[in-house]
Structure 1
Amino acid sequence: MERRHGRRAGAASDVEAVLDDLYTTPPPGFVARREALALAARTAGRTEDSRRIHAARRPTLAAWAANLLLRSQPEESRRFLELGRALRDAYRTLDAEGIKELSEQRRRVVAALSRQAADLARAAGHRLSDAAQQDVEATLRAVLADEDAADQWATGRLEGPLTPPSDFPSPTGTSTAARTPRKAPKRTAAPSASAVASPSATRAKDDLTDRRRRKRQEELARARKAAKEAERRLRDRRAERADADAASQRARDRHEQAREEAAAAERQLQQAREELERADREQQEAEDRLQATADALAQAERAAGEAADEVERLSASDG
């Protein structure tokens, strides 16, 4: 029984890995790869896996780029999700000035990550249009601002871009005041003794206010630290990408130079082969001429000998 359960768990893990990989497939090749994977699962007798794979919907180019970013940069993506949680917590307690500062940092982080997604897409052979780039940025803004959007992106299987909310949650200290109109105070007589707060109650209220203020400051500090750390890592990744691009360009240049040198060497080798063939032919012709000359010389020597013999014979008969 445990063995059968282990096989089922292993099969579930296999199909999850297949789906994860499928959603990083560029959209133009998504359907063909999906059908091939579904057929393979069905042929192996995994009917339910085949059904799940076949039900996968092709992502848009922007959603695919967002999935690719998550899968290709797991550590950066994990920290980005953590940053979103920290920002959402901070926005609930910050004042307007703190929100303004974090909003600027949030925009820089989103812009940097969206450029990284575009770089990954281009490296995979698909350049993002301006509209697709905007959809990627909207998706990342949604991930930071909305917990449900963050959970969807964390699956790595987005089918379309996510829509961010109009803004982060309003601070608790101002949202109620913004929604509730302030009423004019009633004109009354001097307050009664029971309406006057005691010194201990006033101190307790002040302590609560101080604790809330310290909590907001601590959350703001954590959010600022997380945002700055995210910016630093993104700068490092961009620098590493620039170094990798430069190294790749140098490698391409060396490859092109080697290819040209190989082509030149091949041409020289071909010329040498042709020269060798000509030399072989000339050598054979020379040897043929040498043999013909030797044969003619031998024939002439025989003829001369025969003529000398005839002269000697005739001279002897005259005598």
Structure 2
Amino acid sequence: MEAVLDELYTAPPFDFVARRETLAAAARTAGRMDDARRIRAARRPTLAAWAANLLLRSQPEESRQFLELGQALREAYQALDAESLKDLSTQRRRVVSALSRQAAQLARDAGHRLSQPVQQDLEATLRAVLADPDAADQWAGGRLANALTPPSEFRPGSAPVAEKPGTRSRPAAPSPSASPRRASKDELAERRRARQEQLARAREEAEAAEQCLREERARQADFDAELRRARKRTEQARRRMSAIEEQMQQAREECRQAENEQQEAEGHSRSAADVVAQAQRAVHESTQRVRRMTRGAT
């Protein structure tokens, strides 16, 4: 069942619904109703989420190293190791860029070119995997349905924050004058981020709809071409059938004529046989008379 779901989430999104229904129907036919419900509940991934799933399944070693990099980054941020942060941040940008290009190439190889908004969603998902352990766990599952959004800062997870010996961490006292402005800026940034996400999703849905329309038009063109070929074959078959029917009609007429000629020949043959029989009797009678006359003369 897990392998079935993994395969479903790496299938192209435009084939997802049809493939999901086929797999669910197969499970129902086999009597696996729980599996059928799990398959039916699977959500179709966006293009960015599908590309991220495809990257995970197609590049397992690179994906494992990427997850390890994310863990190292979160630990560096947690320990506030400035030197490690600098090195890992540079590595983070390089790896995110490289992996996003690999995912885009995998998508092209599968027949789907990623647009710029979808590529941006894919990169945001990879950054979220590095920064957020929950996002890393979701991606590692290989069944993303939506692109992930990176947090505003690295989240170390459940591990404790490192402290210097002999010191105790204290919460920083917020500045009365800075807090409202910072809250306002954070709220504005959150609104902008939400609008950008909505716009990206809308663009992706529009692109998906256009791609679906193109595929349906191509499928209709294939059906129309097949219909034209079928009509041509039907017309050719009708012409051959008409020619065969004409030949059969001619053969029937010739057969009737031959039967009439046969009946007439049979009549002539019977008449000739009667004449021959009569001639044979006359010859026999004549022969007998000659014999009697010969004996009387002697």
Q: TM-score, normalised on structure 2?
A: 0.53
Alignment of 1:1-319 (within 5 A): 15-169=1-155, 179-180=172-173
- Letter of the aligned partner of 2:33 in structure 1? T
| Secondary structure in structure 2 of the residue aligned to 1:56 | coil
Say which one has the larger Rg: 2
| Secondary structure in structure 2 of the residue aligned to 1:100 | helix
User: For this pair of structures, how many residues does the alignment match?
Assistant: 168
Change in 2 beyond 3 A, CA 1:125/1:169: same
Change in 2 beyond 3 A, CA 1:128/1:92: same
Q: Distance in 1 between matches of 2:87 and 2:66?
A: 18
After superposition, the CA RMSD in angstroms is 2.3
User: CA offsets, 1:180-201, max 9 Å, x none?
Assistant: 479xxxxxxxxxxxxxxxxxxx
User: CA offsets, 1:143-199, max 9 Å, x none?
Assistant: 1111111110011000001111112248856995783479xxxxxxxxxxxxxxxxx
Change in 2 beyond 3 A, CA 1:116/1:159: same
Q: Distance in 2 between matches of 1:137 and 1:82?
A: 17
Q: Distance in 2 between matches of 1:127 and 1:120?
A: 9
Change in 2 beyond 3 A, CA 1:166/1:23: same
**Does the aligned pair in 1 maintain the 2:131–2:151 contact within 8 Å?**
yes
Measured after TM superposition, the shift of residue 99 of structure 1 is 2.2
Percent of matched pairs sharing the same residue: 73
Change in 2 beyond 3 A, CA 1:173/1:95: farther
Match of residue 267 from structure 1: none
Q: Distance in 2 between matches of 1:126 and 1:144?
A: 26
Q: Which runs of 5+ in 1 are unaligned?
A: 1-14, 183-319
Q: Distance in 2 between matches of 1:130 and 1:176?
A: 44
Q: Distance in 2 between matches of 1:152 and 1:169?
A: 15
Measured after TM superposition, the shift of residue 124 of structure 1 is 0.3
Q: Distance in 2 between matches of 1:179 and 1:153?
A: 34
- Letter of the aligned partner of 2:9 in structure 1? Y
User: CA offsets, 1:47-83, max 9 Å, x none?
Assistant: 1101100110000000000000000111111111111
Measured after TM superposition, the shift of residue 43 of structure 1 is 0.6
**Does the aligned pair in 1 maintain the 2:8–2:16 contact within 8 Å?**
yes
Measured after TM superposition, the shift of residue 120 of structure 1 is 0.3
Flag the structure with more relative contact order, 1 or 2, with Cα contacts below 8 A and sequence separation at least 6: 1
Q: Distance in 2 between matches of 1:29 and 1:101?
A: 42
Q: Distance in 2 between matches of 1:71 and 1:121?
A: 12
Match of residue 182 from structure 2: none
Q: Distance in 2 between matches of 1:26 and 1:176?
A: 50
Measured after TM superposition, the shift of residue 102 of structure 1 is 2.1
- Letter of the aligned partner of 2:44 in structure 1? R
Change in 2 beyond 3 A, CA 1:181/1:28: closer
Q: Distance in 1 between matches of 2:47 and 2:111?
A: 12
Change in 2 beyond 3 A, CA 1:181/1:30: closer
